[in-house]
Chain A
Amino acid sequence: MSNSESKNSNTTTIKENKTNSTSKVEELQNQKGRKTVLMQGNEAVAYGALDAGCNFFAGYPITPSTEIAEILAAELPKRGGVFVQMEDELGSICAIIGASLAGAKALTATSGPGFSLMQEGIGFARSTETPCVVVDVQRVGPSTGMPTSCAQGDIQQSRWGTHGDSPAIVLYPDSVKESYELTIRAINLSEKYRTCVILLLDEVLGHMREAVRLPDISNVRVISRIKPTVPPHWYKHYEDNEKYPFPLASFGEGYRFHVTGLTHDALGFPTNKPNEAAEMMARLKKKITYNIRDLVQIESFQMDDAKIAVFAAGITARSAKAAVVMARKEGIPAGLLRPLTIWPFPDDAVRKMLRNVDIVIVPELNQGQLVREIERLVKDRSDSKLIKIQRVDSKLIPPQDILQKIKEGM
């Protein structure tokens, strides 16, 4: 299963031309790109952002995400990009949306408390269909919780944290290398589908170092918004176009469009008309539901003949995979299904899994957030057994615990 941008998707790709990079910067880039280096998840996010053409970062320091800001503070100015430390996370999310409306590829990074503060802005970006990326390196909550400890407590918040119905695209890597890849994918998807894409990271992943070899920059597939070519009076900022990406103008390009968080019509002007409100809401929903195949990525490990499946995401999937390997050694037909995209939830892949296995084990570092979705789907099959493993004491779930449940299940 390839984790990189799916090759068969027929989107237009425009390679970022890094006009401002000096030869020294290029050198560093190549070093990072070509040699195998020890790298933290947070570092991988920062370099993924740069490779995807991110040229604007606004953020507010918070553990365990701060390294992302620190690296970008050093790297962005060298490449002609903007780094700004805002006064808070409310300002950070708004600044990246503003920058994106002016044409930037913009990103911010935070953790639980800051992620909560950003929710109103995330809703604004989704409503106004403004591309941007929020990285949430999750830590133990609620509230200030345990800043340097691991939890997966923001899975549902990343979907439902902002008020009102809105589409969500949320990606969830399980390794340092994949943090790099999914950061690029998050930026690509935000540009393509014009929305705020969220990248969830686990604290352990953010801080863990792994040996990675980043691809040569020329092999990185970058998607950028398409510029409109129509005369300004024909331009509709919210054209009902099902082919993504569709032309998106930026401020200062002569299109003089209006953007508002109020429910708006195709031109972007506020509306109280029920039919126009319905149209807007349908468009937001459709861009997800019509593009599930492009959006959903899933890793299937040893699932072909599995009778017991573990369904896990992020760092917990690493333990799960180890448990599956151990089980297989003992001749137990176990497998792992791992969503790289958690929202939209991979309903079809899970349904398929449920058809083929008798037991599903859902380990997670929260009090039952991923498993809610499995429960929603398991209703179709009342004879399958669902086993939950939940841990919220800041410790990871060791493979042995999952293996034990696999054996108990048999």
Chain B
Amino acid sequence: MPAIPQKIIHEYLRHDKKFPHVWCAGCSNGIVLGSIIRAIAGMNLSRNDIVMVSGIGCSSRMPVYVDFNTLHTLHGRAIAFATGIKLHKPHLKVIVVTGDGDCAAIGGNHLIHAARRNIDLSVIMLNNNIYGMTGGQVSPTTPYEAYATTAPYGNIEPDFDVCKLAIGAGATYVARTTAFHTQETQNMVKEAIEHPGFALIEVICACPVIYGRLNKKGGAPEMMKEMRDNSIPLSAVDKLPPEKVQGKIIRGVLHKDIRPEYCAQYAELMKKAQAQGGSK
């Protein structure tokens, strides 16, 4: 894919309106936004047909910065709002940006059922292993024994593999990457948008200011290096001895299949209902 100049990114930002942004220096959220914009810019889509929906959290602040149809909703409910939009106007490309708390804790039920329906949404979960916005409380993806302001003695809960959950629930495109792997993120976003069904991308992110500080991870550069060094592509997993895979972030498209998409199914249902006319 040809490199997309910075100028194009700027065309997609509401730079005259909403900047400077709210994110801390070193936060991964802006890097992921860059990947999303590059993916879309390379796709020949009309901005009028793109809706970006988010919940509540640092990551969920993303829509306000981009020049699409944008909706910043309630904590945990982005996927439910997106479901309404997509069902009413199925031709729109609906992208959901959500955090680990937003998606896997308070919004977990909507994630499960949207995946089960296989509704054509592209959900991008920015997993920074913490509740960033509220100042560092434990999240369902905070690693075991890691620290958070509400886990001051270390987290005693196992962390959630949200990708596995989505696959189990019926998502038809599930991928994981990290904010460090910008080109990979960009490719996955493109694939997710093109995929005719429910897509989830988990992007491992750094919250250096809170998670990093509480867990002595160093600064943003160190956390980025960790993403690089502590992750392996799915394609390498089989070639490596198990001890080299243990504890690593597995990156790649973890699951992909095709099954009837919900809006398409609903269109069929409408035809059936209309053919049957007045009879119930």
Contact = CB atoms under 8 A, between A and B. Distances in A.
Contacts of B73: 94, 124, 261
A254 B68 CA distance: 9
B121 to A, nearest CB: 11
A251 B89 contact: yes
Contact of B270 (A80, A84, A101, A254): A80
A56 B53 CA distance: 19
B89 A256 contact: no
Contacts of B81: 94-95, 97-98, 101
Contacts of A217: none
27 contacts: A25-B277, A25-B278, A77-B266, A84-B266, A86-B83, A90-B77, A90-B80, A90-B109, A90-B110, A91-B109, A94-B77, A94-B80, A95-B81, A98-B81, A100-B84, A101-B84, A102-B92, A106-B88, A251-B69, A252-B69, A254-B48, A256-B48, A258-B14, A259-B71, A260-B72, A261-B73, A267-B17
Interface in A14-45: 20, 22-25, 27-28
Interface of B: 14, 17-18, 47-49, 51, 53, 63-64, 67-74, 76-77, 80-85, 87-89, 91-92, 109-110, 112-113, 266, 269-270, 272-274, 276-278, 280
Contacts, number: 154
Given A259-B71, A261-B72, A261-B73, A22 B84 contact: no
B69 A82 contact: no
List 9 tightest A-B contacts by C-beta distance, closest first. Answer: A98-B84, A24-B277, A95-B84, A99-B84, A94-B80, A98-B81, A77-B273, A91-B80, A260-B72
Interface string A227-255: 00000000000000000000000011111
Contacts of A1: none
A262 to B, nearest CB: 7
Interface size class of A (residues with CB under 8 A): 35 or more
A91 B113 contact: yes
B123 to A, nearest CB: 14
Contact of B84 (A56, A254, A257): A56
Given A86-B113, A102-B92, A258-B72, 19 more contacts: A27-B278, A56-B87, A94-B80, A95-B81, A97-B84, A98-B53, A98-B71, A98-B83, A99-B84, A103-B89, A106-B84, A252-B51, A252-B89, A252-B91, A254-B48, A258-B14, A260-B64, A262-B72, A269-B18
A98 B80 contact: yes
A260 B77 CA distance: 13
Given A22-B277, A94-B74, A252-B92, A84 B109 contact: no
A102 B64 contact: no
Contacts of A97: 81, 84
Contacts of B276: 78
A170 interface: no
Contacts of B69: 251-252, 255-257
Contact of B88 (A86, A102, A121, A253): A102
B92 A20 contact: no
Contacts of B270: 20, 77-78, 80
A56 B88 contact: yes
Among A24, A103, A252: residue with most chain B CB under 10 A: A252
Most buried by B among A23, A25, A95: A95
Contacts of A100: 84
A74 B89 CA distance: 20
Contact of B74 (A27, A28, A261): A261
A165 interface: no
Contact of B109 (A27, A88, A259): A88
A215 interface: no
A84 B87 contact: yes
A251 B51 contact: yes
A58 interface: yes
A106 B85 CA distance: 11
B5 to A, nearest CB: 22
The winner among A101, A102, A106, A269 for most chain B CB atoms within 10 A is A102
Most B C-beta atoms less than 10 A away, residue of A23, A94, A121: A94
Contact of A77 (B67, B74, B80, B269): B269
Nearest to B269: A77
Contact of A258 (B70, B76, B85): B70
A88 B106 CA distance: 13
A236 B220 CA distance: 39
Given A90-B77, A96-B84, A121-B77, A259 B70 contact: yes
A358 interface: no
Contact of B274 (A22, A55, A96): A22
